[in-house]
Structure 1
Amino acid sequence: MKKLLFFGIIASFFIFSCNSNKKFSSENTEKLKSDTIHISNPDLEYDVIIIDAGFSTWFNSYAKPKGFYSQSYLEARNRTWIMEWNNRARNPIRYGNIFDMTIDYDNTTNYGYHVNYMIYNYLVYFQLTNKQQLGGFQARL
């Protein structure tokens, strides 16, 4: 009887743990159809355009679904990585022309989850495909 009860508890724990990942299922994953991604919000007067030949394929294959990271996590990574990106963009002699232009990212503005999510994923993609590390946090999948 004890073995049956123990087996029942283990089985119910296993079933519960399998259902706990529904929040991050493939149904919650946004798919990109173009290599030019345009994100804008006229209320906040920002406009983000990402043009990179391999980003949509990478995003559709590797990006974690929305909701996987918190907005504060994304903002912390974006602040650090964008600060280093801008430093390298301002020093093309030292870092080369891989950083075409600076990114205007105001730490005091709430851009919302979607913008931070897309910028974060692009910066992860950029670091992994170009073998760069943009700051204290290592990009990983």
Structure 2
Amino acid sequence: MKKILTLIFVLAAFSAFAQHNSQNSLDWAGTYKGIMPCADCEGIRTIITLTEKNEFSVRMQYLGKKANEYKYSGKVVWNSGESIITLITKGDNSKEYYFVGEGYIQKLDSDKKKIDGDLEEMFKLKKADEYELIVFDSGFDFWLNSSGHSISQYSNEYLRSMNISYVQEWNRRNIMGDRRFESYIDYDTFEDYNKDFNYKLFMYFKYFEEKNRLKLIPGTGRF
């Protein structure tokens, strides 16, 4: 069974269940992403992760706004005999409803009905591809594209080795309580991550170092 990696990015991959409704017939656990409609911004970039332990986490970014990022988590409850889940937020017990389809989830209204109209399709979040690294920091893509480096400069073996070292140090600082390292990274050293994934993860660590003016691994250069 593959795992989810969440930080400011997510790795999506899970295995399937058995029969009848979406809960036991679809490969529903995983990470879903999309841009939902917004009344006073350019859109809401949304990433929802559902786990087989019936837990969820949500990250939302209001595009075009300064104070634009929000996150929350809680438990997933399946409506008996239906392909509908209720997301109950930890703390205030607020509820959201989603229809679970093949490869997507769709936000419903407070009556658990689909939101009709021209924007209906925008309320669907598509399941992320396996081993897709989703970085929430809006500055990362620009930095990556202007870094002057390319994936061809590195072997996958080198990237994997460096990522293992970076992840170990990141997780150590996370456990020590440094809030800059907001999530524990579950990077499986036995998993055969592809080169695109390893390169993007490696470059994210470099971006994080430069942005925060620190070295996660002493003795390493900028690249």
Class of the TM-score when normalised by the shorter of the 2 chains: 0.5 to 0.7
- Name the structure 1 match of 2:198: 116
Is 1:83 aligned to 2:168, yes or no? yes
- Superposed, 1:48-87 pairs within 5 Å as 48-87=133-172
Q: Which runs of 5+ in 2 are unaligned?
A: 1-7, 16-128
Equivalent-residue separation in structure 1 for 2:9 and 2:179 (angstroms): 22
Larger relative strand fraction? 2
- Superposed, 1:1-141 pairs within 5 Å as 40=12, 46=131, 48-92=133-177, 96-136=178-218, 138-141=220-223
Task: Give how far 1:106 is off.
Answer: 0.9
Identity of aligned residues (%): 31
Aligned length: 103
Pick closer, same or farther for the CA change 1:139–1:49 going to 2, 3 Å: farther
Contact 1:39 1:115 in 2 (8 A): no
Task: Give how far 1:49 is off.
Answer: 2.7
- Name the structure 2 match of 1:27: none
Task: Give how far 1:108 is off.
Answer: 1.3
Higher relative contact order (CA 8 A, sep 6+): 1
Pick closer, same or farther for the CA change 1:89–1:118 going to 2, 3 Å: same
Q: Which runs of 5+ in 1 are unaligned?
A: 1-35
Task: Give how far 1:113 is off.
Answer: 0.4
Task: Give how far 1:63 is off.
Answer: 5.0
Larger relative helix fraction? 1
Q: Deviations over 1:70-116 (max 9, x none)?
A: 00110111000110001111111xxx311110111011111110110
Equivalent-residue separation in structure 1 for 2:9 and 2:185 (angstroms): 15
Larger radius of gyration: 1
Task: Give how far 1:66 is off.
Answer: 1.9
Pick closer, same or farther for the CA change 1:139–1:102 going to 2, 3 Å: farther
TM-score (norm 1): 0.63
Equivalent-residue separation in structure 2 for 1:116 and 1:60 (angstroms): 16
Contact 1:128 1:139 in 2 (8 A): no
3-state secondary structure, aligned to 1:78: helix
Equivalent-residue separation in structure 2 for 1:37 and 1:104 (angstroms): 12
Task: Give how far 1:135 is off.
Answer: 2.0
Task: Give how far 1:48 is off.
Answer: 3.5
TM-score (norm 2): 0.41
Contact 2:166 2:205 in 1 (8 A): yes
Equivalent-residue separation in structure 2 for 1:56 and 1:129 (angstroms): 13
